Amino acid sequence: MTTRKKYLWRHKSGRWYVRKCVNGKMIYLGRITAEEGTAAFDQQYWEILSGKKANVKTSWAALIDAMRETDKWANYSARYRGDLEKVFKYLTEKIGGADVAKLTQADIYEAMDNNCHRVRFANYIPTAISMLSKLAIRKRWRQDNPAVDIEQLKVPKDREKPHLPWADWAVEKMREEGGLLPLLIFEIGVGSVQRPGDWVDFQWGDYDGETLKLRQNKTGKPLLLPCTEALKRALDRAKSSLEFTPHPSRHILTRADGSAMDYHAMARVMVRERKRLGLMAFDQHALRYRGVMELAWAGCTDDEIASFSGHTSKAMIIKYAGEARQIMRARQAAAKRR
C-alpha cells in the first residue's frame, strides 16, 4: 500500500512525490508519474528512493507542473486548458521522466502519427509542446522549440464533415419554434459572429442594451459588438424573464439552477433542440458562418466582417462571404431576368 511508504507524499493537486527531510530541510527526490496502486508506481518509488534511476530535474513532467503555475496558464479559458490537459496527460505517461532537451521534431511527428486515428488530439500535440518549449527556453532547459513549423495532420476525406451554414428556412424554423434558451443561444451565435466557446463567457455586465463586449478566448482580442435587432430582443426577453435584475457578473447563459453554463452543457441543449426541430444538418459552429454570410449580404467588405468576427485569417471569411455574395448576385440576376 502507498500509505506505508515512508517518504511518499501527495500534493494537494493529486500528484505524488518522494521526499526526505535532511538537516531540517525538505528535499524532493522525484515525482512519481505512474498511476497510484500499480506495479509501475511502486517501481518508480523504489528507483527514486534508491537512486538506481537518475532523476531528471529538467523533465517534461516537471515542465508541465511549472506551466500550470504560470499566469499565462491561468488566463487560458477552461475549455482550452481542458484540451491541453489531455495532451499533458499523454506526454506525462509517455515521456514524463525524460529530459526536455532531448526531444526532437521527429519524435513529435512520431507521436502525431501514433494518434492519427484522432486527428484533433494529434494536432494538439505540437501545440502543447510548443507552449511548453517556450517555457523551457526561458528556464534554460533547452535552446530551441522543436514544434516550430510542424505540419498539421489533415482529416481524411471520408471523415471530413464540413459545417453547413444555416439555410434561410432553418433560421426561420428556429425563430418560430425554438425554445427560450435554445433561441437565446442561437441569436447569440448568429448575432455576435463569435466561436461557441465565447458564447458561454458573456455576462450581463457585457450587455448595455445595444452592444456586447468580450475578449476572445482563442485570440485574446477585445471586441465591442453592436447587437442585431433579433439578438437584442432575445437578450431583453431573457433578462425580463428573471425574477430579479441580474448581477453584472452573472452569466447570460445559465443552467436551471442559475450556475454558469459551460460549452458542453450548451452543446447538449442545442443538440436536443435541433433534433426536436429536425435541424441536425446545421450545427452550432455553423451559426458563426451564418453571421458572416449575413454581414456579406448587408454589403460588408472582408475587412469589415473581420473587425466584427475577430477572424485572424480571412480564409473562412472569403469562403462563406463569397458564398453569400454569389447567392445575392444570383438573386439579383434572377430578378432582372424576370
Residue 139 above 90 pLDDT?
yes
Q: What is the pLDDT of residue 95?
A: 86
315: confidence class by pLDDT, cuts 50, 70, 90: confident
Mean pLDDT confidence for 166-180: 95
The owner of cell 508541465 is 64
Please classify residue 116 by burial: count the beta carbons closer than 10 Å to its beta carbon, then call 0-12 exposed, 13-18 middle and 19+ buried: exposed
Name the CA radius of gyration of the chain, rounded.
25
| Alpha-carbon gap, residue 227 to 254, rounded angstroms | 20
Q: What is the pLDDT of residue 185?
A: 97
Mean pLDDT confidence for 243-263: 89
Q: What is the mean pLDDT of the chain?
A: 88
| Alpha-carbon gap, residue 328 to 338, rounded angstroms | 16
Mean pLDDT confidence for 293-299: 90
Mean pLDDT confidence for 88-110: 90
Contact 91, 127 (CB under 8 A): no
Contact 163, 94 (CB under 8 A): no
Q: What is the pLDDT of residue 162?
A: 66
- Kindly report which listed range (27-31, 184-188, 207-211, 214-218) carries the lowest average pLDDT score: 27-31
* Cell numbers at 221, concatenated: 482580442
List of domains in the chain = 2-53 (no CATH), 61-159 (1.10.150.130), 168-337 (1.10.443.10)
Return the HEC string of the chain. Answer: CHHHCCCEEECCCCCEEEEEEECCEEEEEEEECCCCCCHHHHHHHHHHHHCCCCCCCCEHHHHHHHHHCCHHHHHCCHHHHHHHHHHHHHHHHHHCCCEHHHCCHHHHHHHHHHCCCCHHHHHHHHHHHHHHHHHHHHCCCCCCCCCCCCCCCCCCHHHCCCCCCCCHHHHHHHHHHCCHHHHHHHHHHHHHCCCHHHHCCCEHHHECCCEEEEECCCCCCEEEEECCHHHHHHHHHHHHCCCCCCCCCCECCECCCCCECCHHHHHHHHHHHHHHHCCCCCCCCHHHHHHHHHHHHCCCCHHHHHHHHCCCCCHHHHHHHHHHHHHHHHHHHHHHHC
* Cell numbers at 268, concatenated: 447538449
CB burial of 238-268 (b: ≥16 within 10 Å; e: otherwise) equals beeeeeeebeeebbbbbeeeeeebbbeebbe
CA dihedral 64, 65, 66, 68 (to 10 degrees): 90
Contact 252, 239 (CB under 8 A): no
Beta strand 222-226 pairing with 211-215: antiparallel
Query: Percentage of residues in the chain with pLDDT exceeding 90?
Result: 48
Mean pLDDT confidence for 57-81: 89
Residue 111 above 90 pLDDT?
yes
| Alpha-carbon gap, residue 279 to 283, rounded angstroms | 8
Which pLDDT tens digit goes with each residue over 1-53? 445 678 888 888 888 888 888 777 787 777 888 888 887 788 888 877 776 55
Q: What is the pLDDT of residue 161?
A: 63
